[in-house]
Amino acid sequence: MPSKDKGHSSITSSDQEMVLSSLEPEQLAGLKKHLIPRRHLKGPEKFVMWSLRIYLLFMIVVVIYQVWASLH
Amino acid sequence: MNLGPLSRLTQRGVTQEDVVITHEDVDRAHDRVRVSAARAQRGTFSKFRLLWLLVGPGILVMLGENDGPSMISYAATGARFGIGFFIPFVILTFCMAIVVQEMTMRLGSATHRGHAELIFDRFGPFWGWFSMIDLGIGNFLTLITEFIAIRAGLGFFGVPPWAAVLSALVFLCLAVMMHRYWTWERTLLAIAVFNLIFVPVALLTHPNWHSVGSALITWKPLPGGLSQDTLIIVLADIGATVTPWMLFFQQSATVDKGLTRKDIHLGRIDTVVGAALAAVAAVATIIATAPLFAHHMTAENFQGAEFAQALQPLIGRFGAALFALGIVEAGMVASVTISISSAYAFGEVVHRPHSLNLPVAQGKAFYTVLFLCAATAGAIVLIPGLPLVYVVLLVNVVAVLAMPPALVFLFMLANDREVMGDLVSPTWANILATCVVVFLTLAGLLFGLSVIAPNLFAFIGGK
């Protein structure tokens, strides 16, 4: 059977069976440390992401200016 | 040892030693057993029971987004523009929220991973940290405004600011100290439904239903036309409905609740019901403060529950008290959901346990982040002289500006066949999502232009 987490001595064998029968494998907390494989971004995707990043930085400057203008 | 259904994970490098059962798993499994039992039964009652068991993240995220700053934005909208353009416009923003939030629910159900975790894993830490910085700053600023709302709302009843902040922190502690996702969700749902308290307040103002119906059909009037002030309210109202924290919260809550591919249909119903309830509360708030416009009162000097004070001569002490309570409730519920959204994302990124099923001893990092965010935001609100309403509107504007980059991550993940399999977004969903991204980007750019070139609106016929 799968092992119990340290400090989880109150987890019984029937608990373990219930977990394995009712949860999908990917739902187990202990298995989430396994990373999902990295995706390599294509040129157009990188372009969109950088464009929106620049858009956000520009707009934050606009908002800061707006606040400054309102306070003065 | 035979791993049974887990054996297919061995292809991804999972070993027998990795399969560790925790209390978090046991609690989630108990919830899933009840879902399976309800699904196995036939009959109308069983269907409703299944729906009851599966609703939660969608309603909570939508009513949670009807938070303090959102309700104050809607109140400012009603006071400044009355019944007209903004009633159908707010309903449109909730339709946008449904499109966006459905994707997060689908992602969580299909992958069992939180939003931050997926972005880090699929796009790498470079883009992941950009996303986390956006979320962290946005969440913290929004949390500050939740405490502003709580402080202002309780101020109506004579509660001093320090006591208001303290009571909000105590509420937060009580809400998350149940160590059980299910109990937390049901308790918060019961409290969040009080968001509809704005409906009786609206009725007390004896609204002109003919004007409401006409506004819904014609999208008019828009007093003052297009101006920078109008645009700020437009952005604030969009920011009151679609914000980055909602993406992270609903996906993580979907995972924490344990929804699976089989539950996606009911997850959609959960999201739509939540949006409908939230839209009713939002429209009711605009209608409730519309008399301030009709009586030529402006919102500029009102701070939070000062809207309630302004309404008191029109709807009486009881109605005004309901309005103030509504602002407090909105701030309290959102302070919980937003703090949890930050804590979920932190746990996902640093790979520490992150679940409301965790006892404190096993979720120290999760609960520490949660409380530190809230306590710091609460302390900032006690600084005297903060321009409260301005801060609130501005936070919503910043939320809108941060949305397009966040939506692109969501869009790419929802169309990623490697993680979604056959649950990738259909074409119609992609068209709608693209429209939302373009709309939000254009609204932000228009705001930017109005700041850089204030005469622009006069040139095109506005003010």
Do B389 and B302 form a contact (C-beta atoms < 8 A)?
yes
- Which one of A14, A17, A46, A56 makes the best mutation probe of the B interface by having the most chain B beta carbons within 10 Å? A56
Residue A46: inside a domain: yes
Q: Domain residues of chain B, as ranges?
A: 55-460
Any idea what DSSP says for residue A44?
A: H
Question: Chain A contact for B430, CB < 8 A?
Answer: no
ipTM tops 0.90: no
All residues of chain B having their beta carbon less than 8 Å from the beta carbon of residue A41 are: 123
In 3D space, the residue among B287, B359, B266, B225 whose CA is nearest the CA of residue B56 turns out to be: B266
Alpha-carbon distance of B66 to B8, in angstroms, equals 42
- Which one of A17, A36, A55 makes the best mutation probe of the B interface by having the most chain B beta carbons within 10 Å? A36
The predicted structure's pLDDT at residue B152: 86
pTM recorded for the entire structure: 0.89
Dihedral of the alpha carbons of B145, B149, B150, B152, in degrees to the nearest 10: 130
> DSSP assignment of B76-112, as one string?
HHHHHH-SSTHHHHHHHHHHHHHHHHHHHHHHHHHH-
- Helix ranges (H only) for B258-387 are 264-294, 306-350, 364-381
Per-residue pLDDT tens for B201-237?
A: 999 999 999 999 999 999 888 887 777 778 778 887 8
In sign, the C-alpha dihedral spanning B402, B404, B409, B410 is positive
Distance in Å, alpha carbon of B178 to nearest chain A alpha carbon = 18
Residue A1: inside a domain: no
Do B138 and B244 form a contact (C-beta atoms < 8 A)?
yes
The predicted structure's pLDDT at residue A14: 87
The C-alpha angle B350, B371, B308, rounded to 5 degrees, equals: 130
* SS3 label, residue B357: coil
User: Which regions of chain B are under pLDDT 70?
Assistant: 1-18, 295-305, 387-390, 392-393, 454-463
- Which one of A39, A42, A46, A57 makes the best mutation probe of the B interface by having the most chain B beta carbons within 10 Å? A39
> DSSP assignment of B308-338, as one string?
HHHHHHHHHHHHHHHHHHHHHHHHHHHHHHH
pLDDT tens, chain A, 72 aa long:
555 555 555 788 888 888 888 888 888 888 777 778 888 888 999 999 999 889 888 888 888 887 777 777
Alpha-carbon distance of B69 to B307, in angstroms, equals 13
Alpha-carbon distance of B408 to B373, in angstroms, equals 27
Question: Chain A contact for B361, CB < 8 A?
Answer: yes
Dihedral of the alpha carbons of B68, B69, B75, B80, in degrees to the nearest 10: 170
Domain count, chain A: 1
- State the residue range of the domain holding A57: 40-72
Do B335 and B172 form a contact (C-beta atoms < 8 A)?
yes
Number of A–B residue contacts, CB under 8 Å = 163
Do B349 and B116 form a contact (C-beta atoms < 8 A)?
yes
The C-alpha angle B251, B256, B259, rounded to 5 degrees, equals: 75
Alpha-carbon distance of B268 to B103, in angstroms, equals 9
Residue A45: inside a domain: yes
Contact B21 A53 (CB under 8 A): no
Alpha-carbon distance of B135 to B129, in angstroms, equals 10
Which class does domain B55-460 fall in? mainly alpha
Per-residue pLDDT tens for B167-207?
A: 999 999 888 887 789 999 999 999 999 999 999 999 999 99
Contact B405 A56 (CB under 8 A): yes
The residue behind tokens 């009162």 is B297
> Which token pair is B393?
């509107």
Question: Residue B99's CB: how many other CB atoms inside 10 A?
Answer: 20
Contact A23 B118 (CB under 8 A): no
The predicted structure's pLDDT at residue B13: 60
Residue A16: inside a domain: no
